[in-house]
Chains A and B, each alone.
Chain A
Amino acid sequence: MQKNCYNNGRRDFIRKASFTAALYAIPSALVHAVPIDLITPGPAPKERIKLLINGKEIAAEVDIRITLLDFLREQLGYTGTKKGCGMGHCGACIIHINGKRMNSCQTLAIHNKSNSIVTIEGVAKGEDLHPMQEAFIKCDAMQCGYCTPGQIMSGIACIRDGRAGSREEIQRYMAGNICRCGAYQNIVDAISQVKASGKTV
């Protein structure tokens, strides 16, 4: 692992997360590269789950190995939530589970029975965009748009969690959301503007 001057907490976290994932997911030869859905060879049992997605009750039978992310994207077609790494490193798949932000690639669908899930598709009220979505448009807080849903879900959580007190605090809270195009400055602008507006998020 590269030693680096930028040890900002998040990198510590992702190192630990990789380690945990590796323990969980076996073959030691694959340690650096194991998505958690690569677990059990052979036939896998299915389970029935029921959960709320954007206020709508969903019942489904799922492979016990499927992550919440792949369940949303592949099984249900909620593709607004993005898959960037499948390893909990990039934040593209961040959603809200019972009001808390979470990398949806780091939880299995079967672990979310009865949970209330909110994805990017569920933050606007009909035609009325969420203030964070509006601010992202206004600040051009995106380029390719692939990390954008995760950034917005994290940005909303940043304000809800009371962590948007300064630009530095926002940057630290958002450190788990990678943007490879480099829209970071505009993203922080957008979150700061929503915070300053005092609007309910």
Chain B
Amino acid sequence: MEKNLPLINEGPRADALDKVTGKATYAAEHRVPNLAYGVFVCSTIAKGTIQSIDESVALKSEGVIDIISHKNCPSIPGYATQLPDGTRNPKQWWGMKVLHDNQVRFYGQPIALIVAETVEQANAASLLLKVSYQKETFETDFNLIRKDLSKAKPPSTYTRGNATNLEQAAVKVEGEFNIPIEVHSPMEPQATIAVWESEDKLTVYDKTQGPKATQGALARLFNIPDKNVRVIVNYVGGAFGNALRNWHNVPAACIAAKKINRPVKVVLTRPQMFNLTGYRPQSWQQLKIGADQSGKFVGIVHHAISNTSRYEEFREGIVNASRFLYACDFVETHYRILPLDVSTPTWMRGPGEATGCFALESSIDELSYTLNMDPVELRIKNFAEKNPESKLPWSSNYLKECYDKGRELINWNNRAQKPGSLQENGWLVGYGMANGVFGAGRSQASVRAILSADGNLVLQSAVSDMGPGTTTAMTKIAAENLVMPLNKISFKLGDSELPPGPTQGGSTTTSTLGTAVYLACETLKKSLCTLAVEYASAFKNMEASTLLVQNGGVSSTINKELFISNADLLKLANKPFLEITQDSQGTSAMELKHATNSFSSHFVKVLVNPKTFKVKIAEVVTTADAGKIISENTARSQMLGGVVGGVGMAILEELKFDHQTGAITNASFAGYQVPLHPDIPKTTVWFVNKPDPIINPIGAKGLGEIAFIGLAAAIANAVYNATGKRVKDLPITPEKIRAIKN
């Protein structure tokens, strides 16, 4: 059996110094001469047509350079639906074409961009714009509209096994689950600075999780070659999925900069961040699960509906985990999306699975009480030895180790099976747990490695790092591979001119980019060994394959005395540096003939006030099977962050609408509650830390999503254990707990 590796906590986060000194430069912070500022004016109706925009007064306001709306927006190649020959434009902009037409699709949609010398001037002028609308009736109330299934898109369905299994099950539970809209709201607002270097050459400083993706999108928008667009993103101030695509600020800044022939910066305001950068869609789920007397699952039926916008279809994997996380012969899933007159949702941390696992893991917990069985034992009973959907063996699945360690660290023995039977200082005590799962994929990436004569290694790839610590992980992979000190290695990212790297998302960066770094190091070692044979007399006539690169030089496995430093070797070869560019191909589960997933198991202790039903999350133990942990300190921070996100989803976060107007009513950090310092319990992180032998040569699976998926259910399950009241509508508030009759 594989051994749990020791955790290596060598070296701080690679960019920590820049971050603590204020030197880290985020998109809006680049100094660009002659900069103008763009500010959006947004619609005050939810649906209809802009009848008129009177900009005459606003244009005269001090400092105003231009006011851009559909009335005067230049013709943009990527906005055209058709090419001149009448065929469909294959390079059409993905998403809403801001400032393009007079249609209002949701409340708060940008309808004009005021461009001025300063933000203050643009803001002032924005109050002077007179807009009139032709209103139309609209639908924003998900809870109401979803009851009419004819309004939803046709379902995607999946079935395996025999439905009679579930009908005849000895024990069954069934429930409905509601999750409101949650918003990423990262601390750095979306920001774009657009600089046209010439008529067809664009430089953009942008908050994006994918510099190459943004480069391609803008090249298509303006019908210019990719190489004419340079995207720079040194730092990303959090994103959690909201910078996976380009929102209105990106084209608006580029269009404005082109129109006024000056660099333009557009930064979204915090209220706009709640409406214009995507969100986790609202969802309704119904889940039925049955088991035989021993607790073995005999059937799962999972229905889900989530909202999309009227102008785009957004789907995610809400029902997916129900098909494969546990062994179960009969499974049926149905998933529909429901268009509403709101902005388009997007992937938010743990997309789909976080929603689905709330229903699945809450239902399994409920079933455990019906069976009078420990909820961990019930999960062990239904452990899937292979993936029951694809029938492929797991590349690795150490969930059972997570269960053991989680129970030990949270003191699961103190839990009482009967709800409401434990108290501490007058508070009800409850313990709960739940699992998370997410696909562990690997896609294409390229990495350039430059080893210079001074012994320093620079790695480069066109990716960005929204906070998990990609730079740190990549340098650690190279340090381990080349057996060289961390401080000799740096990783350069954040520029689309570097070799193409993946968009950071879906818990794939370490696997994808890390593999490319690993392969680049392997190639570098081969080159060094070849150089040694060719140029270093001591290694003459030796087989390159018998040589070894470590500790900053080449040595021989045969004659242990022999050593030449990389610096001396490069000098002999008359090379100032050694440079290689390495491509790494992606791979799919089918190609690997294995199901590749990361797993997590979260354990929570809560205290609930028996009179007020206030919930205090007392302690969390979060465990993960994410393969080999490359960088312990940053991985641990990612897990801690997942817990904080889970606390938000479970007890705080909810975007609210006024369905009379279609407006969001809590679009600020005062109205939309996110976890704060005092909300955070003592949290312990534990990693299985065993390399996955299949997915890639570095043994790492993904971590970002599973850190979060399952937490809301673990908290809800603990609240049930404390009170005997199961809240199925998030967030769990005292009012909702009180309203449930035992």
Residues in chain A within 8 A of chain B (CB atoms):
1-6, 8, 10-11, 14-15, 17-18, 27, 29, 32-33, 35, 37-44, 63, 65-66, 70, 73-74, 77-87, 89-90, 92, 119-121, 124, 129, 133, 136-138, 140, 142-149, 152, 168, 170-172, 174-175, 177-188
Contact A181 B641 (CB under 8 A): yes
- Residue A4 contacts which of B269, B466, B673 (CB distance < 8 angstroms)? B673
Contact B673 A143 (CB under 8 A): no
Tell which of B235-243, B292-300, B314-322, B390-398 binds the partner: B235-243
Q: What are some 25 contacts across the A-B interface (CB < 8 A)?
A: A5-B613, A14-B670, A18-B670, A33-B667, A37-B120, A38-B124, A41-B124, A41-B128, A42-B61, A43-B62, A86-B270, A137-B20, A140-B12, A142-B16, A143-B634, A145-B18, A146-B238, A170-B677, A172-B677, A175-B676, A175-B677, A178-B669, A180-B240, A181-B186, A183-B637
Tell yes or no: B22 within 8 A of A by CB: yes
B102 interface residue per 8 A CB criterion: no
The verdict on A188 contacting B188 (CB below 8 Å), with A18-B668, A144-B236, A148-B20 known, is: no
- Residue contact B670 to A178, C-beta cutoff 8 Å: no
Report chain B residues within 8 Å CB of A185.
Answer: 640, 680, 682-683
A-B residue pairs, 7 tightest by C-beta: A80-B22, A182-B644, A146-B237, A144-B467, A145-B19, A182-B641, A143-B467
Per DSSP, chain B at the interface is: loop
Restricting to B638-674, which residues have a CB under 8 Å from any CB of A?
638, 640-645, 651-652, 654, 656, 665-674
Number of interface residues of B (CB under 8 A): 90
Q: How many Å lie between the Cα of A3 and that of B651 in the bound state?
A: 11
Which of B121, B270, B733 gathers most chain A CB within 10 Å?
Answer: B270
Residues in B neighbouring A183, C-beta threshold 8 A: 637, 640-641
Q: Are A2 and B676 in contact (CB under 8 A)?
A: no
CB closest residue in chain A, given B42: A33
A149 touches B677 (CB 8 A): no
Q: Which residues of A contact B665 (CB under 8 A)?
A: 32
Specify which of B126, B187, B673 is in contact with A11 (CB 8 Å cutoff): B673
Asked if B641 contacts A175 (CB within 8 A), the reply is no
Is the Cβ of A143 less than 8 Å from the Cβ of B20?
no
In the bound complex, do residue B641 and residue A137 qualify as a contact, i.e. CB atoms below 8 Å apart?
Answer: no
A65 touching B120 by the CB < 8 A rule? Answer: yes
Q: Which partner residue on chain B sits nearest A119 by CB separation?
A: B22
- In the bound complex, do residue A84 and residue B22 qualify as a contact, i.e. CB atoms below 8 Å apart? no
Contact of A140 among B18, B121, B634, B654 (CB under 8 A): B634
| Distance (whole angstroms) from the CB of A6 to the closest CB of chain B | 6
Q: Are A37 and B119 in contact (CB under 8 A)?
A: yes
Let me know if B270 and A63 touch, CB within 8 A.
no
Partner of A184, one of B124, B189, B667, B677: B677
Given A8-B676, A70-B119, residue A181 in contact with residue B467 (CB < 8 A): yes
Q: How far is the CA of A1 from the CA of B620 in the complex (A)?
A: 29
The answer on a CB contact under 8 Å between B16 and A136 is yes
